[in-house]
Amino acid sequence: MKHIYLTLITILSLTGSAYADRLVIKGSDTLGAKLVPQLAEQFKAQHPGTTFDIAAEGSTTGIAAIIDGTAQIGMSSRRAKSSEIGAASAKGINMKPTIVAYDGIAVIVNAGNPVKSLTKKQVEQIFTGEVTDWSAVDGSGGKISIYTRNTSSGTYSDFKELAMKKRDYAPGSQKMAGNEQIASEVGRNPAGIGYVGMAYIKAGGVKVVSIDGATPSIQSVQNHSYPYWRPTFYYTNGEPGGIAKTFLDFTLSLVGQKIVNQVGFVPIK
């Protein structure tokens, strides 16, 4: 009997405290590295006592966390795949996406690279390995070093879909854990090329190349004229409730969207 009471108290304390004041958010590095922590800080200022547990290890982990029930919000920089939605449905989970910000995936090269613009075809050729030398795209020559995100990243799969017709990355491409690592490597490597979310384009030593004449900006992303624009999401199990809903509403509020803008993302309106 004593054991039963103890167990009940433990469960109640975990579920009660966790879901009343503690918000578990997992997923996208693109969202989770800067944007969501800053939103959380501001939110905590308005809602004292709320604690956040944020794990930014890639969009795949965020969607998996909603399916597994180990997070209230799954951050994702890509849409959930049909296989993920199917797996969720089988468990009775209703994957509900909410667009919280737009992003433009910027193609970056080393600041010393003379290449200023690329066509969509050239981007596809470079990242699939069809073109391996900068001289083929009006560069100054030398073997191209490709930096991509790792496979659990939403940006990794989004870029494949948006820029590479879903083809595989070049075999020699180097997979990085986050946007910052890609920006850092490209900044150090004169022959480097990679892609990052708009929040990371101001990193030192890199520059953004235009794609078919378009560069990622608030306007070009909001009106979808930049080819590599994408929505970013919070995934929840159906309509969120409690602290998760409060935080989602805050993210979509004017204050939240101002933070979105400050961090380098594109507000939804």
Judged by CB under 8 A, the chain residues 222 through 241 that form the site for another protein are: 224, 231, 233
From the list 43-51, 115-123, 165-173, 236-244, the region that binds another protein by CB under 8 A is 165-173
User: Contact region for another protein (CB under 8 A) — 50-58, 94-102, 139-147, 169-177?
Assistant: 94-102
Task: Give least dist CB 79 to another protein, A.
Answer: 7
For residues 100 and 183, which CB has a smaller minimum distance to another protein in the complex?
Answer: 100
Cα angle 205, 207, 213 (rounded to 5 degrees) comes to: 175
Do the Cβ atoms of 137 and 115 come closer than 8 Å?
yes
Minimum Å gap between C-beta 164 and another protein is 10
The tokens for 187 are: 């900044």
> Residue 78: left if φ>0, alpha if ψ -120 to 50, beta else—which one?
beta
How far, in Å, CA of 206 to CA of 210, rounded?
13
Select the residue interacting with another protein from 59, 60, 98, 236 (CB under 8 A): 98
Check residue 168 for interaction with another protein (CB under 8 A): yes
Query: How far apart (Å, rounded) are the C-alpha atoms in residues 33 and 9?
Result: 35
Upper half-sphere CA count for residue 240 (Cβ side, 13 Å): 26
Q: Which of 79, 104, 181, 201 binds another protein (CB under 8 A)?
A: 79
39 binds another protein per the rule CB under 8 A: no
User: Considering only residues 133-152, where is the footprint of another protein by CB under 8 A?
Assistant: none
Should residue 70 be labelled a site residue for another protein when binding is judged by CB under 8 A? no
Count of C-beta atoms within a 10 Å radius of residue 191: 19
Q: Read off the tokens for 180.
A: 């910052």
Tell whether residue 46 is a contact of another protein (CB under 8 A).
no
Sole binder of another protein in the list 166, 204, 213, 254 (CB under 8 A): 166
> For the window 5-34, what string marks contact with another protein as x by the rule CB under 8 A?
------------------------------
55: contact with another protein by CB under 8 A: no
Task: Give dist(CA 215, CA 227) in Å, integer.
Answer: 9
Question: Taking the complex as a whole, how short is the minimal distance between the CB of residue 248 and another protein, in angstroms?
Answer: 12
E-strand spans in the chain? 22-27, 51-56, 73-76, 95-110, 117-118, 145-149, 174-176, 192-197, 206-208, 210-211, 229-237
The DSSP letter of residue 99 is E
If binding is defined by CB under 8 A, does position 101 make contact with another protein?
Answer: no
Alpha-carbon span 7 to 91, nearest angstrom: 25
Q: Is 198 in the site for another protein (CB under 8 A)?
A: no
Total residues binding another protein (CB under 8 A): 22
Is there binding between residue 245 and another protein (CB under 8 A)? no
58 secondary structure, DSSP code: -
When asked if residue 121 is in the footprint of another protein (CB under 8 A), the reply is no
**Which residues contact another protein by CB under 8 A?**
79-80, 82-83, 85-86, 88-89, 94-99, 165-168, 224, 231, 233, 268
